Structures are given as structure tokens and as C-alpha cells.
Amino acid sequence: MSTPVQLGPTTLAAPDTSPRWLTQREVAALLGYSPRQVRRLIVAGLFPEPIRVLGPTSHPRWLATTVEAWMAASVRAYERTRTA
């Protein structure tokens, strides 16, 4: 959690540098897909595997930065096909 920094009469929150973990539902909503479609993409090797933070029986999670990088790469690949 970020710690507020007092600067005169104004208090600013320090940036939160802890990783943000996303659930499968959050990833699906971010991508505009159903959770089932996200799973299909994973099985097909088209989307990053989740990290099971607490071991093999825990719920799958993705780092937000991983999902954002995948989205950016997908956009670049799409743009290359449009200009080719």
C-alpha cells in the first residue's frame, strides 16, 4: 500500500509499486472475452499461462503488466497485418 507524503498543506500518495494481480474474470472483462474464451486462448498457446500464486491448487492470477504487454503486442501484430 502507498504511504502518503506530506508536502505543505497538500498530501500526495506515493505511487504503489506492488504488482497488481488479476483474476480470470478481470482478465476476461479487460479483453472483452468470456472466462471460457480466455481459457481457450491459453490452451491454444495464444495467451500467457496464469501464475498460481499459492501453489498448484490456488486460483489462477495474471500480473496486470503481463496482460497489458500481451494486449500491446496483439495491437502491433494487428497493425502490421493492416499495413502489409
Q: The domain that contains 71 carries what CATH number?
A: 1.10.1660
Residue 33 in any domain: the answer is yes
Residue 52 in any domain: the answer is yes
Cell 496486470 sits on residue: 64
For residues 35 and 11, the model is more confident at 35
pLDDT at site 47: 97
Residue 74: helix, strand or coil by DSSP?
A: helix
pLDDT at site 11: 57
Q: How confident is the model at residue 9 (pLDDT cuts 50, 70, 90)?
A: low
Domains contained in the chain, number: 1
The residue range of the domain holding 41 is 20-83
User: Which pTM value belongs to this model?
Assistant: 0.71
Residue 82 has pLDDT above 60, yes or no: yes
pLDDT at site 18: 81
Residue 72 in any domain: the answer is yes
Buried b (16+ CB within 10 A) or exposed e, 52-73: eeeeeeeebbbeeebbeebeee
Element housing 49 (H / E) = none
Residue 38 in any domain: the answer is yes
Residue 55 in any domain: the answer is yes
Ramachandran region, residue 14 (left: φ > 0; alpha: ψ -120 to 50; beta: rest): beta
